[in-house]
Structures are given as structure tokens and as C-alpha cells.
Structure 1
Amino acid sequence: MTKTFQRRTLITMAAACLVAATPAWAQSSSPLRVILPVGPGSGVDTIIRAAQNALSKALGGQSVVIENLPGAGGITGTSALVKAAPDGNTVAFISNNHAVNPSVFKTMPYDSLNDITPISVVGGSPFVLVVNPAKVPAKNVKEMQALLKAKPGSFNMGSSGNGTIIHLAGEMFVDALGVQVQHVPYKGMGPMLTDIIGGQVEFGAAAVPAAQGHLASGRLKAIGVMGKQRVASLPDVPTIAEQGFPDVDISGWFAVVGPKGLPAAQVERLHKGVVAAFNDPEVKAAMAKQDNVINPTTPDVAVKFLKSEQDRYARLVTKANIKLD
């Protein structure tokens, strides 16, 4: 046996050992399945689709397939996630309703905290309190409070559905003002905004991207931003906290999570991919256009955040006496 042959044999054996030692997930040619527990065209859907190509690139060319599985306030989609294999090829892009659902549904088919693996809370979307200017002539929160107090129960507050984060945001607002209104739930934010414009309901909370066009046209008026900071596209609209109601502090957020038992190496790989994707210049520009604030957290911070949000919403649901069958 020549030395050359021996050397080639050793190289071949070393390569075989390296392949054997490489985790199976690193060799997978499967696409990354991103489950959205919401319908197409929603704010969360728009956000992840803007980052789809950048995420594929950040994951070394792994294709990214987005699958909308709406229903039951997000439970349908998240149920599919928790049943998926923890192999790094399935994640979900969730939002506030994930943390709200345990408090508004009597039973849940999964544990919202323990049956998932948080990867990152990617960022947030501001909410704004909007009114029909013809029905609500108030220019600010104090004037609106006086108007609502003068006619208890006479005004209608729309929401994107009973028990949704938009419903909770509205309840937080009316509780802070100490007023009584009638709640009118809709099947989505679009129908709610249509009826506020049409005058069937007078006001409601809304995600800024969904309301931007209507605010620009004057069909809706913004009374105040519902988070702690003003919004870049609405620089003259003060926060509700600035107007004397500091207890109003709520906004949308979106996060990437995997199924329970996701290996640490996969969590790290996916986290790095998410951070890189949302730092892509084109993605950052798209997020800024929608007034989304991008600041991806670490997995550890995401775990603590989801727990704190679930606890916070539980208190709000109890206070507002929101119940779903």
C-alpha cells in the first residue's frame, strides 16, 4: 500500500466521520415552514412576507414557505405548530392574541408558554385610537371623555373581534376614561374600520398601518397613540398617556416561536437568521414605512416577555369581564 493511497484513505475516512458527526438538521433540504395563525393581508402577514426573501438568504438559502392557518383567535395555527416536529423546519409568527387567548377561552388545546420554544420577539406595531370625526367632534382625549360621560352607553366602540387584542386595547381606553360604551365586535379590523367610517360605530382602537390611509384622507381622526411613544407618520398626534391617562399603554407585537423541545443549536440558528433578516436594509425600509419598530430580542428575553404579557392580559380580561365560549 503506497503512502499516497494511505493518505487518501485517511482523508476519505475523516470526511465520512465528519458527515456522521454533523447534526441531521444541518443537512436537511426541507423548507422552513412559517405558520401564521392569521389570514392573508393582515398586519402580521404583511410583516413576515416583507422579510421572507431576506430570511431565506440569512438561513443559507433554505426556502421559506409561509402558511396562513387562521381561526379561533390564532389557536388553529398555533395548534399546528405545537404538533410539528422540533427539527427546526417549522416555526410560527405570532402576535398579542397568543398571550391573550389563555385568559379569554375556557379551554385551550395547548399550553401557550410551555408548548412552544420562543426564538425572538421581533418588534412592535403602534395602536391608535380612531374616531369618526362627524360622530365624535372631540379633538383630544379630554374632550372625548366629556362627550362620552355626557351620554353614558350611547356610543359604540368597535373591535376586530371579541377577546382580541384590539378589543382589549379599547377596553383599556374606556376604563382609563371611566366611561360606559357599547362594544360591537367585528370579524377583523377591516370591517371595523369600514363601519367607523360609515358611522355605524363611533370609535375603536386600530393598528396604525391599517388606519394610515383613512387618517390621511380625513375619513378617520386620530385622538391619541396608545403606546408610550409618538408615531413617526403621525408626529402631531400625542400619546394618550401624554394627555393625562398614563394607564393606557398597549401596542401590537410579533414574535417567532418554534415547537416545544427545539434543540439549542436550532434556536441559535433560527435566531441569527431572524435578526439578520430584519436588519436587511430593504426589510428595515419596509418596516419603517409601516411604522413598525424592529428590535429583535434574545430567546431568553422572549421567554420572559411572553410570560409577562400573558399575566398582564389576564388582569385586563378579568377587569373587563371578557369571556368566550
Structure 2
Amino acid sequence: MPLDTFPAPRRLTRRQALAWSAALCAPALAHAQGPGAADRPLRVILPLSAGSGADGAIRAIQASLSKALGQPVVIENLPGAGGITGTTQLVRAPKDGSVIGVVSNNHVVNPHVYPSAPFDAIEDITPITVIGATPFVLVAHPSVQARNARELIALAKAKPGVLNYGSSGNGTILHLGAAMFVDQAQLDIKHIPYRGMGPLMNDILGGQVQLGVVAVAPAAAHIKSGSLRALGVTTAARVPSLPGVPTLAEQGLPRYELEGWIAAVAPAGVPPADVARLYNGFKAALTMSEARDALVAQGYEIKLTPPDASAAFFRSELARMGQVVKSASVKMD
């Protein structure tokens, strides 16, 4: 606009001058602080208990993420109702990039087993990135007379209703993992739900429960010592840390494929600039050797994906888990 189109200048009062000065300085100050006021701590809600796989993973990269973002990162465990308690707090959090959550497969399982959840698993979040994924393995107590999944299927069909499997809780991904196996192999095996991964592992090791689908990393040492027997891994390809254990797909279940993933999300409505800043923070953190090595040590394969691809992943996983829940007839007991 030509200068001669502006009205003639007039004298400003002190209050007006201060207001104009603040307005002119605000963009520069916001730029210096970064979107989401990066001088404040980033609150990370984890809708899972301390000691879970997702908890260990995010804590492993906490220092690197803080360094990458240039702000403190505070992790808050809010477990309960399969993740619904913490996720409810997340979706109601400020939409300014100051609060995010780290969710797992349960986020897209819950809508199918908890239809009355007080939020929409897709519409009420803003995906930031899929962080990584870890394989699962079907394990048995050594007293079970089966060395692999094929032998287990034969044993279960010869003795219907005799065997049992445990899970970390009704509707959890470990429940679905075992239920998928039972469904696809058309077996009659009883489900015994536990309250978390720790109690489940303790009772499989103790022989109180015979079978279970668990994460590879915490099970690997027990498999190596012989206190657990690995019958098959759940991924499409064999797992490098268990090269001698065939996949379930190799053992007569060609449609079986499952892994445990974790992803960072924000509440719906967070500005794109904040989402980009947070994604770039995760991206930078996971280029740091200490973060990458820590995740790999916990059995994770890094699968960093940008926000758009992460949103598409959430939608596809929601549909896929719906089919799994329906086919396996998973119900809340």
C-alpha cells in the first residue's frame, strides 16, 4: 500500500505507545520462544502403568527428547480402564502443544471393547508420529508338551478345554494376540486375564498359567534360560534376537501378524506448527545414539513416521483391530 494512503500521523498517548510496542514485539517474542511456548515443560501423559513397555520406551528417550525440543519433558503415568483414564485427560488437555500423550495398540482396540469410552479414538487426537514397534512371541511353560506352535495346535485339538492362556488384561493387545491365535487355529483354550504384564509373566514362569503372548524383550532371557519355551513369533518375519523361532505364519497361520507399537499424539485442534515442532523434536531425538540404542535394547524397531502418515496408520489400525475383535469374539468378562 502506498505511504500516501495512510492518514496523517497523530500524537499517541503513553498507554497507546506501550500497547503498540507490545504488539510489535509479540511476534518476535513468540518466534524466540517457539510454538507452544517451549520455555514450559512438555507434559507427556502415558495412559499405562509404570514398568510397561511403552513406559520404558518413552523414558528411554526422555532426555534426548528434552534436548531436541529445548525444554523439560515430564512423564505422567495415568493408567486405568485399559488406557481410557489417561487418554480422557489427554483429549481434554490444552490445545497449545504443551501436553501430548504416548499411546499403544490399545488406543485403537478400546473403541471395539469399550464402546462407551468418552472420546473418539480418531477425531479427538492429533497424531504426531509412530515412534516404534516391538515383536511379540507366543510362549509356554516348559511343562506344556509342545515345542512349537504346530505341536501346540495338535495338543490343544486333542485336549479341548484343557489348556489355558493368560493375558495382561481383558481387551489388551496381549489378550488380542493370544485370542487371534486361538481363533485362527480354531482351538478351545481358556483365557485367564491378569492385571498387567508383570503378574502375567510371573505366573507363566511359575506354571500357574500355561501359555501367553508377551513382548520379546522381557521374555528373551527366560527363553534363553529355558524357563519359558518360545513357540512362535507374531511378526511377518523372524525376529533377529530369536532367529531359531519360526513365525506363526510359517506354522500354518498365514494371516497372523501382530506387533506392539507406540505413538505420540496430541489433543485434537493443536495448531499444525506445534505438531510440526513436536514431530521434528522426536525426529531429532531419535537421531541421537543414546535414544536409538536405548529403544533397540528394549526390543523396539524405530518406525518414525510424519503426522499425515501417522494419521493414516491410526485409521487403518482401528479398522484392522475391529475385525480382530469381531473374529476372535473378544468380550469384556
Q: Shared fold (TM-score greater than 0.5)? A: yes
Q: Which runs of 5+ in 2 are unaligned?
A: 1-19
Alpha-carbon distance in 2 for matches of 1:20, 1:285: 39
1:92 alignment partner in structure 2:
101
2:289 is the counterpart of 1:281: yes
1:57 alignment partner in structure 2:
67
Q: Which runs of 5+ in 1 are unaligned?
A: 1-12
Alpha-carbon distance in 2 for matches of 1:305, 1:20: 35
CA deviation map 1:152-191 (0-9, x unaligned):
0100011110111100000111112121100100001111
SS state of the match for residue 219, structure 1?
A: coil
Equivalent position to 1:126, from 127, 135, 140: 135
1:218 Cα offset (Å): 1.1
Query: Which structure: larger Rg?
Result: 2
Structure 1 residues 154 and 27: CA distance shift in structure 2, 3 A: closer
AA paired with 1:47? A
Alpha-carbon distance in 2 for matches of 1:114, 1:27: 25
1:256 alignment partner in structure 2:
264
Stretches of 4+ aligned residues off by more than 6 angstroms: 13-16
Alpha-carbon distance in 1 for matches of 2:186, 2:36: 56
CA deviation map 1:237-258 (0-9, x unaligned):
1111122311110110000000
2:170 is the counterpart of 1:157: no
2:27 alignment partner in structure 1:
20
Equivalent pair of 1:232/1:291 in contact (CA under 8 Å):
no
AA paired with 2:26? V
SS state of the match for residue 145, structure 2?
A: coil
Question: Percent identity between the aligned chains?
Answer: 51
Equivalent pair of 2:36/2:96 in contact (CA under 8 Å):
no
AA paired with 1:318? K
1:4 alignment partner in structure 2:
none
Alpha-carbon distance in 2 for matches of 1:180, 1:28: 54
Equivalent pair of 1:231/1:291 in contact (CA under 8 Å):
no
2:121 alignment partner in structure 1:
112
Q: CA RMSD in A?
A: 1.7
AA paired with 2:237? Q
2:214 is the counterpart of 1:213: no
CA deviation map 1:49-72 (0-9, x unaligned):
01001001111x200000000000
What count of residue pairs does the alignment treat as equivalent?
Answer: 311
SS state of the match for residue 85, structure 1?
A: coil
1:324 Cα offset (Å): 2.7
1:324 alignment partner in structure 2:
332
1:195 Cα offset (Å): 1.2
1:35 alignment partner in structure 2:
45
2:240 alignment partner in structure 1:
232
Alpha-carbon distance in 1 for matches of 2:165, 2:120: 31
AA paired with 1:166? L
SS state of the match for residue 242, structure 1?
A: helix
1:144 alignment partner in structure 2:
152
1:17 Cα offset (Å): 2.6
1:311 alignment partner in structure 2:
319
Structure 1 residues 307 and 27: CA distance shift in structure 2, 3 A: closer
Structure 1 residues 288 and 27: CA distance shift in structure 2, 3 A: closer
Deviates more, 1:109-118 or 1:270-279: 270-279
Alpha-carbon distance in 2 for matches of 1:311, 1:28: 36
Deviates more, 1:22-31 or 1:219-228: 22-31
1:196 Cα offset (Å): 1.4
1:5 alignment partner in structure 2:
none
Equivalent pair of 2:45/2:100 in contact (CA under 8 Å):
yes
CA deviation map 1:22-66 (0-9, x unaligned):
36745442100000001111110000001001001111x200000
1:7 alignment partner in structure 2:
none
Alpha-carbon distance in 2 for matches of 1:72, 1:251: 21
CA deviation map 1:259-295 (0-9, x unaligned):
0101010010000001111221111111222221002
Alpha-carbon distance in 2 for matches of 1:253, 1:149: 32
AA paired with 2:109? V
Alpha-carbon distance in 1 for matches of 2:294, 2:38: 31
